[in-house]
Structure 1
């Protein structure tokens, strides 16, 4: 072994040099580890903050909102009730009655004032009329003879054959004969009137509603109602209205009547508001006059909407108004885009939407639809509805 080899061997196995290299490696690894930990911590803080900030906004549902403002709407009162003839005329026997020979009308027929509805047998009355007519002729003949005798007596007064007393007697005889003519004529007229009252006649022009008599039936003054007529064919609805709503109604208010079982609507007008309230039901009757139509049948049932005035109110689509056991409500988007429940009172429902009579000013951001899927306090992203 030479000298150079000895020096190399001594340097390779120097313990102090290996120790220094290990210390440098440990320090470098520690610094790198600290840097990695600090970077990871910073990344976690930043990432967590971004997630907390962005999470609710990215998960919040999008809802369409509207601000309807105020719209002119009619204030209406809804009611139900029965249909009837505005003037219902019961017709019965006026005279002494008898056997019904003919019935000349049917329900649904239009009749004029005084038109014969049913004919009653009158053979006895006809003979009585003939007898009285003959008595009138006898009385007239007696009066004619008395007048002739008076005229001849007056022509003889100037010759002295007849006294003034005779003239007075003959004048009295003539006057009595004329009076008997008048009595006989009056008796004849009375009998003819009685016979004419045997016919059942319409008291006024109108529509025949019912018929309760048949040929061969014997009728008299106590028989009851044989026909019912609607005077002029005029109809009405007897609307049952609550005590509170009755206060807002006046004679002349317009109304729309819809008979049950049909879709036809008839324009009418309030002509009488009940002055009393039923103490049991707390309802009053409003009578609505409506024109005749075949679809309007007295005794039927109908619904009515009565316009009691007009005013300003928000009008919402039907999808915006919800309902539960607590009543009607809407959802509005308040501060922080949080959903709030707002109770409302609903008025008229029309093709334009639902009028809200109380609970809203119209400037709120109201959820237009999908309210059933929201909950109070929920955060949403509101979007204004597009104008149509």
Structure 2
């Protein structure tokens, strides 16, 4: 039996306390079990850390032994280049229409924004009551000039008949001929004046220069307009639209005229097919971006001035594809670790390209046939000897 003796501070005799042997034994067994459990955990950790068998190990350093690393040989594959961009929708050919004549008071506007108009269709009618009277006056003057010309011609014809009889001198004939010619010239002047007046009247009405979708109407009946009134109507020629996509310098260099694109306007779930019809010849000095103009056919969901996203296909390339875990970078740039024929780790600088769901394309630095460390390259040092284990790419 076990005993514990306590001594009181006041000097009295100590009291002996008897402890149950079963309780003491239970405590001892509990400590043993805890120590055994800790040992088992440490054994499992050591097994998974240093075991070389079983399935692949990303990186298994072992004291005094060669570490095991996972390597891949990706080969080469065809990668379709994709560029994502944003931009603003606009009319591909926007035609501003204003008053080109002497103007006047608008008496009617038979069209409204959103309507389709045809070439030559009247968009606004200008009051022409004064101009009509002026035209009538010009027409009357023309008739007077023609009458004078006919009279001058008749006088000349009679005089020519009298010359042979000696009643009219040669000088009289010359005078009558000049009078006739002047009368004919006045007829031509009157005709030109009447034509000018008629042309001015034709310009009073504001007409559509081409067929298309009317985007803006900035005039109302009763308004006075003239050549200085600015843009009164705006027309999208043929209803054609475009997306002004903003691209970085590198992306703009990759795409070409004719490259297909999918455009999705904001607020809609629909995408529209278009293609690049023009690339910006200059780069913005502030944003370092250029504009790719993507032509689009008319659709009700395409609103000029609206925001849209686009996915542009920039062609295909043939290159190795690596997982993100295999690519590392530092101050010198992107690189991978390659295991050479002597199973030593070699650093290889690379240049990355397109990022896809399958991985990252490597356009420079490797051929795809090398043994490339797939993961845990950050734990390796160049020149270190390793044991490569091939894994599926």
The TM-score normalised by the length of structure 1 is 0.67
> Does residue 292 in structure 1 map to residue 298 in structure 2?
yes
Question: How do 1:210-249 residues align onto structure 2 when only pairs under 5 Å count?
Answer: 210-249=216-255
Over 3 Å counting, the alpha-carbon distance change for 1:307 and 1:383 in structure 2 is: closer
Out of 282-291 and 176-185, give the one that drifted further: 282-291
The answer on 1:204 being equivalent to 2:210 is yes
Quick check: 1:266–1:290 contact (8 Å CA) kept in 2?
yes
Q: Give 1:273's aligned residue.
A: 280
Q: Partners of 2:88 and 2:195 in 1: how far apart?
A: 46
Q: Secondary structure at the match of 2:316?
A: strand
Bigger share in helix = 1
Q: How does 1:43-82 map to 2 (within 5 A)?
A: 69-82=75-88
- Answer with 1 or 2: which has the greater Rg: 1
Secondary structure of the residue that 1:133 maps to in structure 2?
helix
CA contact (8 A) 1:272 1:288 kept: no
2:199 matched to which residue of 1?
193
Q: What is the distance in 2 between the residues matched to 1:105 and 1:67?
A: 67
Asked if 1 retains the 8 angstrom alpha-carbon contact of 2:274 and 2:294, the reply is no
Out of 248, 253, 260, the residue aligned to residue 254 of structure 1 is 260
Match of 2:361 in 1: 356
- The CA distance in 1 between the partners of 2:87 and 2:48, in whole Å, is 61
SS in 1 for 2:204: coil
State the alpha-carbon separation in 2 of the partners of residues 139 and 154 from structure 1: 23
**CA apart distance, 1:165:** 1.5
**Cα distance per residue 1:179-236 (max 9 Å; x no partner):** 1111111111111111111111223333221111111222122222111112233322
Mark the runs of 5 or more structure 2 residues left unpaired by the alignment: 1-42, 59-70, 344-349, 380-388
Match of 1:143, SS state, is helix
Give the 3-state SS of the residue equivalent to 1:285 in structure 2: strand
Provide the rounded CA distance (Å) in 2 between the counterparts of 1:148 and 1:53: 127
**SS of 2:315 mapped into structure 1:** strand
The number of aligned residues is 320
2:102–2:226 contact (8 Å) kept in structure 1: yes
Query: Please, what TM-score do these two structures have when normalized by structure 2?
Result: 0.66
Displacement of 1:121 in angstroms is 0.7
CA RMSD, 1 decimal: 4.3
Query: Where do 5+ consecutive residues of structure 1 fail to align?
Result: 1-47, 337-342
Compute the displacement of 1:133 (Å).
0.6
